[in-house]
Structure 1
Amino acid sequence: MATTSATGPPSAPTPAADRKLTPDLARGFMLLLIAMAYAGTYLTADDIGGYGQPFGGSALDRTVSTASALFLENRAFPLFGVLFGIGLVMMTDAARAKGRPDSQTRSTVRRRSLWLLAFGFVHATLVFSGEILAAYGVAGLLLGWLLFRPDKARKRATWIVAAYYLVVVGIGSVVVGLAMNADGESSPDWDSSVGYATAEDWITRVAGGFTAPLINVLVFPMLILVLLGLWMGRRGYLQDPDAHVPALKRLAAIGIAVSVAGALPLALSGAGLVTVSDGTAMAFFGLQILTGVAAGVGYASLFALIGRRLQRDPGVLTKALAAAGQRSLSVYLFASVGVAVLLHPDLVGLGDHLHRAGGMAVALVVWAAGVALAAWLARLGKRGPADALLRRLVYGRR
């Protein structure tokens, strides 16, 4: 049973009328980017491309692959990471505004992170091993204590974590690339789709449920993204964008420019416009990963600027996207499962017959269906089922 206070029960959600549009709008659109990123893993053609692999298919497929390399690959999950950090700050601030002690909120963050680990394990085992829920559970456990520390502690942690990823991802990719060039090795296959048909498939799936969050946290810059989200949340960039317009414009312009510049070498290589060795492509891949951090900040800032304008007179589509953002866990799982069911070779199997553009179209349709369902639930005044379950598990019954 959740503990009540003079200001109300801990499980009382923020009324819909009092919610900030910008974070929900960003989450709603971000779910499309995640669905599109997942779709590529289920396409079985040899020339799908992505992450430095050669782009093939029709002119439309190659165009979509190029756009994906510049704006989507290793750029969708950074936005999710930044928004996760901002969400932690908003949750903490709301608890303090209701008069709850930090010790209680700290326990809430810990329980929520543990349940995200559990949700992620089930999702990774049954659907997609590269999922991100469990990674954010790990991030919440490792970084949640910083929510209750002074800014100086968060800054110190940010510099330490940034140095770690610079060594592991930046320098590490260069060292691996040089070794590949010296040994004449080819680049690894990035296909992360696992089947359902054999016992070996299921063993791999269960193992992935344990290893995927560790890889996502230790090899990809997940922790720095959450720390940057804490920084943006403490400054109120998404909660009160009207007060930070000049800063948001700078962050959006610089973040997106750095992101595109960092992704350009790998995109040119995949498009066949430059010819590089597999080892050099590996170094380009490291650069793409690191500069994806800038995309997380840049995209979040861009949505803050868009949201401040739409907040004044939101239309039907804006309200639907916000409804999806308010039910982001449910829509995320709906989109991931829907994309997998339609594209996975062991299920409906459309991935055997579609190329890059077709896979993206399937992701768009599934995401749109999820947004429509979220809008319907909003009209009924109901939460998403997965969001409601997580809230019940974290807070207990009211």
Structure 2
Amino acid sequence: MTSLSATPTFFNERIRSLDILRGFALLGILLINIQLFALPNASFTNPSVMGELSSSDYFSYYFVNVFVELKFMTIFSILFGAGILLFINRLNERGLDGSRFHIRRMMWLLLFGMLHAYFIWFGDILVAYAIVGLIAVLLRKMKDSWKIVMCAVLFLIPMGLFYIVGSSFESMPPEMAKEVMADFSPGPKLLTAEIDLYQVGSWFDIFVKRAQLNMNYQIGSFFMLSLWRTTGVMLLGMVLLTNGVLTAKKSKLFYFSMAILGIGIGTLFSNEGFHRIVETKWEVIHFFKYGYQFNYFGSLFSSLGYIGLIILIYQLKIMQFLTKGFEAVGRMAFTNYLCQSIICSIIFYSYGFGMFARYSRTELLIWVLLIWTFQLISSTIWLKYYKMGPFEWLWRYLTYKEKPQLSMNVKYQ
């Protein structure tokens, strides 16, 4: 039987800044994910498929595209990479083989991700994180300087791949190009069929559609984007952890500068990309070759800027009601991530309330605020009585092969 020294992290061993950042990132991810739950798939890259945008919806689309898309997912990836290093190092310090526990942990995460992807939502990130987590761990012993170099190289690869894909559209036979373009600009018949599927279709019909989409996301998108970008960003997270950036060990001036420069540079690039995409009316070839590249590149700077801003707020001890809420959500990130999917499925899919494509982009922001409020309050209340979320408990039980103590009334031995 595994030694009790392999039990999960004690509360007093947790690093508050990491939990706060994790909660902040998870809540921010919902701003993107809710669009994929509530609107036709093509509208994510081409909002004009749903008709002309109102002024409020245009602003909502601008806000999400420039300040949210890829940014919070990048923060989460940075933290996941830091978490890998922290997890293995802590077990190694206890005289255990951290790598062995990590592999088991990632294999269970892969299973959770597959169940989530096929039975709840096609936009799952757990599968990619589990696979990349097995790759990134092999690179953890590299010097920080080499991790930064590899991060830069891996991060840039998708930019080249997107350019190649955009260029390939230009050389496709007309019929093939028309078929591909239909995924980005579906006609009324295809659009109506998708809306009807999610509003009134059976669970099995949606399951079949979800399975088809997963083939694209888990194969196409993974090898085109996630494999390279996520691996590189996880390596960056390891560097930021070892150098004390994520653990709030730098000065207030450091984080202030990080916030100003990161958000400033990132917003500049993302804003330019947005306007280029709008000017070309979301034309697919331009989107892949040029438009998307600006936001992709700028997102890394914005993410680092957001990290600097949140840690600065934490250091200054202002807005503590909010940072404590982020911390609670972050300590239950796995549970809250899955709960977001369950809540959105109930709201938007036919086996729930069937509200798919019934809300504008602005109205979806109201739903986001409601879900945020629920998760901030429920996570805070739950952690008054329990040491971790229910899915965290299950994941740790499967990882360590011992039942972690859940109730706050039961102390570790």
Same fold by TM (over 0.5)?
yes
Q: Could you tell me which of 246, 252, 257 is aligned with 1:238?
A: 246
Alignment match, 2:307: 300
Give a deviation string over 1:18-56, Cα, whole Å, max 9, x none: 43222111111222222121111233479x954353384
Are 2:252 and 2:315, in contact at CA under 8 Å, matched by a contact in 1? no
1:167-246 correspondence to structure 2 within 5 Å: 167-169=160-162, 171-176=163-168, 178-179=170-171, 186=181, 188-189=183-184, 195=198, 197=202, 199=204, 201-206=206-211, 208-209=213-214, 212-220=217-225, 221-239=229-247, 241-246=248-253
Are 1:43 and 1:354, in contact at CA under 8 Å, matched by a contact in 2? yes
Whole-angstrom distance in 2 between the partners of 1:218 and 1:336: 24
Which one-letter code corresponds to 2:45 in the other structure? Y
Q: Could you tell me which of 85, 91, 104 is aligned with 2:87?
A: 91
Whole-angstrom distance in 1 between the partners of 2:208 and 2:29: 25
Are 1:120 and 1:209, in contact at CA under 8 Å, matched by a contact in 2? no
> Helix, strand or coil for the counterpart of 2:356?
helix
Are 2:18 and 2:79, in contact at CA under 8 Å, matched by a contact in 1? yes
Are 2:332 and 2:392, in contact at CA under 8 Å, matched by a contact in 1? yes
Whole-angstrom distance in 2 between the partners of 1:187 and 1:257: 36
Aligned CA distance change for structure 1 residues 65 and 163 (closer, same or farther; 3 Å): closer
Alignment match, 2:120: 127
Alignment match, 1:328: 333
Are 1:106 and 1:145, in contact at CA under 8 Å, matched by a contact in 2? no
Give a deviation string over 1:158-191, Cα, whole Å, max 9, x none: 354235334223x335524654899985474399
1:1-398 correspondence to structure 2 within 5 Å: 1-4=1-4, 9-15=5-11, 17-44=12-39, 49-54=43-48, 56-96=52-92, 98-101=93-96, 104-151=97-144, 154-155=147-148, 157-169=150-162, 171-176=163-168, 178-179=170-171, 186=181, 188-189=183-184, 195=198, 197=202, 199=204, 201-206=206-211, 208-209=213-214, 212-220=217-225, 221-239=229-247, 241-269=248-276, 272=278, 277-283=283-289, 284-310=291-317, 315-397=320-402
Whole-angstrom distance in 2 between the partners of 1:294 and 1:187: 33
Are 2:348 and 2:356, in contact at CA under 8 Å, matched by a contact in 1? yes
Q: Mark the runs of 5 or more structure 1 residues left unpaired by the alignment.
A: none
> Helix, strand or coil for the counterpart of 1:352?
coil
Whole-angstrom distance in 1 between the partners of 2:121 and 2:383: 28
Deviation at 1:265, TM superposition (A): 3.8
Whole-angstrom distance in 2 between the partners of 1:82 and 1:109: 17
Whole-angstrom distance in 2 between the partners of 1:383 and 1:276: 44
Whole-angstrom distance in 2 between the partners of 1:178 and 1:265: 24
Whole-angstrom distance in 1 between the partners of 2:168 and 2:264: 27
Aligned CA distance change for structure 1 residues 203 and 350 (closer, same or farther; 3 Å): closer
Are 2:325 and 2:376, in contact at CA under 8 Å, matched by a contact in 1? yes
Aligned CA distance change for structure 1 residues 365 and 326 (closer, same or farther; 3 Å): same
What is the TM-score of this pair, normalised by structure 1?
0.84
Give a deviation string over 1:123-162, Cα, whole Å, max 9, x none: 1112211111111101111111222444355345435423
CA RMSD of aligned residues (A): 3.2
Are 1:180 and 1:278, in contact at CA under 8 Å, matched by a contact in 2? no
Give a deviation string over 1:89-117, Cα, whole Å, max 9, x none: 22234334x4324xx10112111111111
Are 1:256 and 1:295, in contact at CA under 8 Å, matched by a contact in 2? yes
Aligned CA distance change for structure 1 residues 23 and 137 (closer, same or farther; 3 Å): same
Deviation at 1:264, TM superposition (A): 2.0
Whole-angstrom distance in 2 between the partners of 1:176 and 1:365: 43
Whole-angstrom distance in 2 between the partners of 1:199 and 1:344: 12
Whole-angstrom distance in 2 between the partners of 1:215 and 1:3: 42
Deviation at 1:317, TM superposition (A): 3.4
Aligned CA distance change for structure 1 residues 174 and 265 (closer, same or farther; 3 Å): farther
Give a deviation string over 1:230-279, Cα, whole Å, max 9, x none: 1211212111x242544434443333233323322442256x55657432
Which one-letter code corresponds to 1:51 in the other structure? T
Aligned CA distance change for structure 1 residues 332 and 89 (closer, same or farther; 3 Å): same
| Identical counterparts, % of pairs | 18
Q: Where has structure 1 moved over 6 Å in runs of 4 or more?
A: 180-184, 190-194
Are 1:108 and 1:394, in contact at CA under 8 Å, matched by a contact in 2? yes
